[in-house]
Amino acid sequence: MKLLVFCSLVAAVAAAPAPAGNSGDVQILKSVYDKVGTYGFKYGFDQSDGSKAEAYGELINEGKENAALVIKGFYEFFSPDGVRHSVKYVADEGGYQPTIEEGPGAVNPNILASIVG
């Protein structure tokens, strides 16, 4: 179930519309996808607009009752106002665990958390 939620989140981010402006000028500078072992993977990309992402996934405890897919990675992008947004995450049997960092001009995460509740 958690893997389904995580994959849905990744698909939603990938399918999100590009920001208005010069989005047509964005070039892929690097794109990597490798299979690692039997059930593992590694992927990443860098774009000319500064957006980038990397992830590494592996099956732990293979063949056991507590087998789990562990994914570690990050993604980073710049909002239209130039603020850098970076999310580092681990998705494992404990769920999706992001660490969010934002550059200058961003809303303080503590203020955002108090607004959201």
Q: Dump pLDDT digits (tens) for 43-100.
A: 999 999 999 999 999 999 988 998 999 999 999 999 888 889 999 999 999 999 999 9
User: What's the pLDDT score for residue 74?
Assistant: 97
Q: What is the pLDDT of residue 41?
A: 96
Q: With contact defined as beta carbons under 8 Å apart, do 48 and 29 qualify?
A: yes
For residue 81, what pLDDT is reported? 85
Q: How far apart are CA 26 and CA 48, in angstroms?
A: 5
Contact 73, 53 (CB under 8 A): yes
